[in-house]
Chains A and B, each alone.
Chain A
């Protein structure tokens, strides 16, 4: 497949790489129909994020069509889904409290140590955002492996809704929403962004 891969500071290339596969029972493979470039992708591009490796596939804002499912995925082939940028199990302490970006089970046991040793705390997991967040391949690619596909992806049943109308549910809208929630912003408030 074709994918946008990081090769170093200010060096991003469209590479031909091997396809993703189902590795865990809750996985699904998505054919990406739309993906976006996030402002935080620029931190990778500018070389500010440690634990990037040559060939890492970028992209954490993606949506597409389900093409393959693991034994415990609840998705069906052909469904259209929006994929959250966080990789969350849905069952740990933080997920049960709806703190999905702090999921304890999405990041792998050994890559959690990168955050633990570098910043004092392990990070959660995300698509295409360094090995500190698990080393997952991102969605700026033809296909992507989506872990915990029974929990994270949002099915868009209405085919008349264009990708552009729902793609930003992956990251941009919920990130702004959470900022507003954390700041207790209410209608009528004046805010600086």
Chain B
């Protein structure tokens, strides 16, 4: 599966760089979302390296 995304980042190239630094750039987010979808379809679940719910929540919150 491939996703083609076209967008104009707020703030232009600098805005895109800032979004990338905070891991919020659409290309990164889409790649990760597609990979989670692949995990769900193939493995039946989405992988997490967390040991328990507390750590999973901490990692989700960043």
Interface residues of A (CB under 8 A from B): 17-21, 23-26, 57, 72, 87, 89, 91-92, 104-113, 125, 131, 134-137, 145, 147-148
Count, A-B residue pairs, CB within 8 A: 80
B23 pairs with A21, CB closer than 8 A: no
In the complex, how many angstroms separate the beta carbon of B61 from the nearest chain A beta carbon? 13
Nearest B residue (CB) for A26:
B45
- Among candidates B33, B42, B45, B59, residue contacting A24 with C-beta atoms closer than 8 Å: B45
B47 pairs with A72, CB closer than 8 A: no
Nearest B residue (CB) for A25:
B45
- Among candidates A17, A18, A108, A113, residue contacting B49 with C-beta atoms closer than 8 Å: A108
If A105-B38, A113-B31 are given as contacts, then 12 extra A-B residue pairs at C-beta distance below 8 Å, sorted by A number, are A17-B51, A21-B53, A23-B48, A25-B45, A26-B43, A91-B43, A105-B39, A108-B48, A109-B33, A135-B49, A135-B50, A148-B43
Given A109-B36, A113-B28, decide whether A20 and B45 contact each other with a Cβ distance below 8 A.
Answer: no
Interface residues of B (CB under 8 A from A): 23, 28, 31-33, 35-36, 38-39, 42-54, 56, 59
In the complex, how many angstroms separate the beta carbon of A126 from the nearest chain B beta carbon? 10
A23 pairs with B53, CB closer than 8 A: yes
A23 pairs with B52, CB closer than 8 A: yes
Given A112-B35, A113-B28, decide whether A23 and B42 contact each other with a Cβ distance below 8 A.
Answer: no
In whole angstroms, what is the CA distance A148 to B31 when docked? 23
Nearest B residue (CB) for A131:
B49
B51 pairs with A24, CB closer than 8 A: no
B42 pairs with A105, CB closer than 8 A: yes
B49 pairs with A109, CB closer than 8 A: no
In the complex, how many angstroms separate the beta carbon of A53 from the nearest chain B beta carbon? 10
In the complex, how many angstroms separate the beta carbon of B9 from the nearest chain A beta carbon? 19
Contacts of B32 in A (CB 8 A): 109-110, 113
